[in-house]
Structure 1
Amino acid sequence: MDYRFFYNERQIPTARLSMDHEAFGLWLSDELGNNKEQLDVILQAIGQLEAGAQREYQWQGRDFLLHLTREDAEVTALTLLQEYSLEELEGEDLDFYDSESRAACGLEDFKDLLIEWRDFL
């Protein structure tokens, strides 16, 4: 997963991620932004998942739902969830692709991304 962090022309922290992970960039830039308190909450939840104290964690923002398990991290646009159920989205025969609406990766990669984002901020 390749990414780049920068401040846009309005000096707002912005994340751009590689294809298949673009939704993480939108989530970081638009949902999480520079909210360090929420970032710390999510990193604490990851620590609890890694320690086996929790099975999953969810956080719903304005536009995206973050879902973490002990193995994976996923962000899904709420508009996508309104159109499809989670079961339909997980089905292999779903015939559309929208990398700006949904992205997934391993929990460890996601944790590394968040730590890099925190360091960037």
Structure 2
Amino acid sequence: MEYQFIRDPITGYRVRMSQEHALVGRWLNEELAIADVKSFVEQMESIVSSQDEIRIEGREVRLILSKDEALFEAHSLYQNDVDLSRYEDDFLELDEDGLVAGCGFEDFQALMLDWQAFTQGRR
């Protein structure tokens, strides 16, 4: 998983990720508050020794975290109340690419530890 951390004087801390993991970056940038990073990393450590799963419902992105993987799903993936057939004449369709992303637990844990170090000025 490729990522780049950015310290922007206007928007604050940001992460830029590859297209394949853009939803992960969106979750970090928009859903997880910088103040909550430390407690989230601690919560992740408890998953390693248990069979538990963490589900975090964000405003726009859901995270399902188990000891094997981190799965990110955009809520718009499940919007069934929109009648897409009315857009058929315009050749528009729901593009599911970018609405789901996943990675292994170890990769996600490394990202979160790097993010924690960066946002706390240790990197």
State TM-score, norm by structure 1: 0.77
For residue 98 of structure 1, what is the aligned residue in structure 2? 97
RMSD of Structure 2 on Structure 1 (CA): 1.9
| Residue in structure 2 matching 1:44, options 39, 42, 46 | 42
Look up the SS of the partner of 2:55 in the other structure. strand
SS in 1 for 2:79: helix
1:24-55 deviations in Å (ceiling 9; x for gaps) = 111111111423xx323322332121112x42
Taking structure 1 as reference, are residues 40 and 82 closer, same or farther at Cα in structure 2, changes over 3 Å only? Answer: farther
Identity of aligned residues (%): 29
Structure 2: which amino acid aligns with 1:82? Answer: Q
Residue of structure 2 equivalent to 1:20: 20
Greater Cα radius of gyration, structure 1 or 2:
2
Instruction: State the number of aligned residues.
Output: 106
Provide the rounded CA distance (Å) in 1 between the counterparts of 2:54 and 2:76. 20
Alignment of 1:59 onto 2:65: no
Q: Is the 8 A contact 1:64 1:77 kept in 2?
A: yes
- Between stretches 38-47 and 16-25, larger displacement belongs to 38-47
Moved over 4 A (4+): none
> Is residue 108 from structure 1 mapped to residue 106 from structure 2 by the alignment?
yes
CA distance in 2, matches of 1:76, 1:23: 8
8 A Cα contact 2:15 2:29, kept in partner: yes
Q: Distance in 2 between matches of 1:39 and 1:9?
A: 20
Aligned residue for 2:34, secondary structure, equals: coil
Structure 2 CA distance for aligned equivalents of residues 78 and 48 of structure 1: 26
Q: TM-score, normalised by structure 2?
A: 0.76
Report SS of the residue matched to 1:62. Answer: coil
Q: Report the secondary structure of 2:19's partner residue.
A: coil
Alignment match, 2:86? none
2-structure distance, mates of 1:33, 1:42 = 10
